[in-house]
Structure 1
Amino acid sequence: MLIGTVGNEPYQRVSSDNGPYEGAMLGAAIGAGGAGAGIFGARMHYKGIDNRAKRHISAIESREPVIQRKINKVNEQAENPRMSFIQKAKSKIADSGINQINNLRTAQLDSLNSKNEQLRNVVDSMQHTNPNVANEADLSRRSHYAQSYADINSHYDDVIQGSRFSKMKQQVDQSMEHKQARIEKNRDVKVSRLNKELEKLSDGRHKWGEDGVKLMKQKHPYAHVKGIGRSAAAIGAGALIGGGAGMILGGLTDEVNKHVKQ
């Protein structure tokens, strides 16, 4: 214990030459200097709170819109997933083939409409000469037109459904559904992480806002040592503690030296 104490600098150097008094003086000087430096440092830290708050708020305000744009982008990508090059090519081929089949459907329906219009004109011309026959012919025309229209559409629906174009279209649709499911899952993870970052920024805004800074100043150590009287008291207390420590160490060092010389 004594050897460890004697080895303590700078008290040992002075006390070994000049005794406890010099040790006390040096300890007082060091204690007062340390207390003064501590108060000065606390004051500088206290005075810098406002500037630090401005920097933090500025950083938060510049970061928040960036995160919000990322969230919007992730949501947009999840709602409108993009096709790959191969998916686009397959979809284009499938659409082109289905359109060709539908063009044949349209041509046949146009032909049916044209024939139906011709029959209507014939039936209308019979109304003045033989209305009963005209009415029966008109009912037959309507029934034939409706049945033919349904048959044509059913036929081409079956053609499209059984074509390779339809199968290719289904494959593209299924792959896009799987892709969208993956994107939505990743979206949930990304948005959750970004929302947590927004929450941290919100906490930072609360901490460095007007009320937060006010509370920070109230709790700051320097707020309790303001004024010349309090500063002097703190420095004096530091000097007293340092002086006492120096005197004790100086006395112990001299005592050890006496035993060593003996």
Structure 2
Amino acid sequence: MGEAGVVRVCQIEQAKYGFRIDLANLILSKTASHYGESQLIRFRKEEAGVSQNRCIELLKMKRIDLLYLPPKDALISNFDFIPFDIHAGMLGYRVFLIRETDVERFKKVKTIEDLRSFTGGFGSQWGDFKVFGLNDLPVVGAANTKVLLTMLKHDRFDYFHRGLHEAWNELQAQSDQTKGLIVEKHLALRYPFQVFYWFHKDNDYLKERFEKGLLLVLQDGSYRQLFRKHFDDIVTRANLRNRTIIDIDYPMSDEVRKWLGDDALTPFWLEENY
């Protein structure tokens, strides 16, 4: 870690990273008796909107201490990680942000072939951007992801698929940009998409702390308690049992595939009365 008692991060947007941040702070709290009090702090408060690639470089340079990203070969080669899916498979289920005027068009979509008549928008640096090309889905990419909602609103593409924890939060958090946009009610994409905690290879101390902390929060029930606090309403609102689920291929190497856990296929939160 950089300064004593802090863990530096650059992924700080609450609408997108709130659960990952809260889980990290829970882990730090649960391990404080052994490792000492610590908390996450934002890298350079004056530097907002740091790109994903920039965050990776900052971890390489030891200017931050922790990332929370999907696994890919370059990360596996360069960093240490804990192969535990922070979101318990939830990110593999994607719902669509669309223009309210397009509701009837999307009601006709039943298969991936139908979806190929539409153009998606997505962050070109995000780990699952290649999903579009692999599945022959037209896409408009944007390096500056903050403009995607505005682009959708102004007809640059037809949909912007988001994780269940992201879709409604982003519409609410950016209400000035999202008038006329809604979460589509009948469809969801599904593919194996997980998020791990990543550490510099020289930072065995922090990785060990997170490994022990994860075991603690899983054993004492506080992980599920935090998960329910963040996502119970979203799971209910998403109503996945009554959506048409379109399974799509996800590009991953054998190296990445071997680290994916069972939650990629059987998330506990889809069970009755979890």
Scaled to the shorter chain, the TM-score interval is under 0.3
Q: Which entry has the higher C-alpha Rg, 1 or 2?
A: 1
Instruction: Report 1 or 2 for greater relative contact order, CA contacts < 8 Å, sequence distance ≥ 6.
Output: 1
More helix by share: 1
More strand by share: 2
Normalised by the size of structure 1, how large is the TM-score? 0.16
